[in-house]
Structure 1
């Protein structure tokens, strides 16, 4: 029974990592940029929901706050690309990486300035609720995280492969000039991808906040999510989820069977091994570009 509890807990945490990793992959697939502020997007989405929901702030119903927070984070992602990142066009990828790292520091500072640095709990109707299966007691928040993550991953996978806009996004990522000549508005597509990544990060933040208290430092979970994205395969949406689940499961089992300190280092040890023996990840998607 302990093993099952560890499995479900690790699976729920892994799904949160997977959702953040999805944001990494979405942006990389479309723009070949790496957004190291993706974890901070998640943190900001969680705090926006908290600010809208908790009684000491706006006090809106939880189910009203959730779509508002998702839309606001989508708008934030769109405006970020349109106002800031477009000005980086032609710059090296290293410059974009440094910009997003700096953005992460700024977002954590702003969140701390508004909501403080002490842990705060989101007033969520699914927090503290249990679901029982025989002798197994599962948190409703953990079950919700797993279900929402799977549904969102499937929806995004079909969106990218079966809709005109999704195919246009993939075309823009593989050859921007050819996509432009085919009539695809490449700049607008990039902005929409950043909007989608912001919305997905908001979902991850809401689910994570429903599990317990949050503070601005949770944005640093993006580092583990980046490791998860690389482990799963950086260009693969299912790979992002798979990598997140693997990282999430490694942590509790390493802590339980080895020692508590090993839970933090094991994901990075696995990342090291993956980079050595399978550099493109478990579900590698390598595309050759014509030049």
Structure 2
């Protein structure tokens, strides 16, 4: 479930951006990687504790996501989807190259309050790092639900995602709202990166996990925010059980086998709706 929560958080970033802008951001996993490296730098270079470094990483990546949309991605609005996909893939390569130049290619790690912590309950053994990932995912999902449900900015984001032109006519600054959505998506990626760091360690290739998160987004329904998290958990559980009970080589491909099955049986995903456009 902890692995699935990480997939779900990265998938959440995919879905947030897609719902608002109909862009598929294949650099989402690399934003997670950058967030983990920023937290590492805050701890290792600035001497901050884990919680302050966590906050710095989230705020820095939120600002980075806002500027990324305002300076680059906003310029390709209205272009063919293929151009947008290639741009985000190119940005992912750029982020990995920049991270390798700044931090090198060595694997990094940092201590957390949950490292090496273990509890037993009812015959079950709980790793504190895994529990922190699950708890962090639950808290973040609750915060996002409250934000989109009860704040003016959150309601404006929903309006812009449903009908950009109508939202613009109602006085909503759609371009600024889109940049804020990219900021939230990058901040969510940073949370996933910091939570994942004690488990998978930090290196420039950890962003490739975004491919499995993409599978989670497709499984849950690409336009469904709850579906992204649930899809991530399902992918994580399937992956772990396939590694335990099937051939070890199947563990890495289990997520993609699930994607193929879902696309064949239910193309809109578990919680998605079939969209129709009049041409």
Normalising by structure 1, we get a TM-score of 0.92
Q: Deviations over 1:230-255 (max 9, x none)?
A: 00111111100011001101111101
Equivalent position SS for 2:42: helix
**2:80 paired residue number:** 92
Normalising by structure 2, we get a TM-score of 0.96
**1:18 paired residue number:** 8
- Aligned with 1:127 (options 115, 118, 127): 115
Task: Tell me how far apart the structure 1 counterparts of residues 147 and 97 of structure 2 sit (CA, whole Å).
Answer: 35
Equivalent position SS for 2:213: helix
Show structure 1 runs of 4+ deviating over 6 A. Answer: none
**1:199 paired residue number:** 187
Task: Tell me how far apart the structure 1 counterparts of residues 181 and 161 of structure 2 sit (CA, whole Å).
Answer: 11
Task: Tell me how far apart the structure 2 counterparts of residues 250 and 152 of structure 1 sit (CA, whole Å).
Answer: 23
1:137-148 map, 5 Å = 137-148=125-136
Task: Tell me how far apart the structure 2 counterparts of residues 117 and 253 of structure 1 sit (CA, whole Å).
Answer: 31
Equivalent position SS for 2:55: helix
User: 1:283 and 2:271 equivalent?
Assistant: yes
Structure 1 gap segments, 5+ residues each: 1-10
RMSD after superposition: 1.5
**2:29 paired residue number:** 39
Structure 2 gap segments, 5+ residues each: none
Q: Deviations over 1:64-91 (max 9, x none)?
A: 1111110000000000000111111221
**2:239 paired residue number:** 251
How far 1:99 sits from its partner (Å)? 0.6
Change (3 A) 1:108 1:16: same
Task: Tell me how far apart the structure 1 counterparts of residues 200 and 212 of structure 2 sit (CA, whole Å).
Answer: 19
Task: Tell me how far apart the structure 2 counterparts of residues 166 and 233 of structure 1 sit (CA, whole Å).
Answer: 21
1:180-259 map, 5 Å = 180-259=168-247
Aligned length: 279
Aligned residues of 1:36 and 1:104 also touching (Cα < 8 A): yes
Equivalent position SS for 1:215: coil
